[in-house]
Amino acid sequence: MSRRSVITTLMIVVGLLLMVLAYFVGGAPWCADAVECSNPRLEWSPAIFVLGVVVAFSSAIYYEVAKDKKE
């Protein structure tokens, strides 16, 4: 596996991980209580989710633009 493929895969994994963590761990809990369930457990978790999307899709740019050492 080339360095390009490894880093691209890593970026996708990190992006997805950020999205999952921000959504299920950092976000407000899935419950009905209006007070307890309103705010996210971790402030800025929506921003972390967006960051995950950005990292995941940036992997495509890296894959295309980066040069392999072999080349």
Q: How many residues bind another protein (CB under 8 A)?
A: 26
* CA dist list (Å): 24 to 14, 21, 37, 53: 15, 5, 13, 15
Q: Does 16 bind another protein (CB under 8 A)?
A: no
Structure tokens at 8: 């691209």
Alpha-carbon distance 15 to 23, whole Å?
12
Q: Does 39 bind another protein (CB under 8 A)?
A: yes
Q: Say which DSSP state 26 is in.
A: I
Residue placing its CB nearer to another protein in the complex, 7 or 28: 28
Q: What residues make contact with another protein under the rule CB under 8 A?
A: 23-24, 27-28, 30, 37-40, 43-44, 46-47, 49-50, 53-54, 57-58, 60-61, 63-65, 67, 71
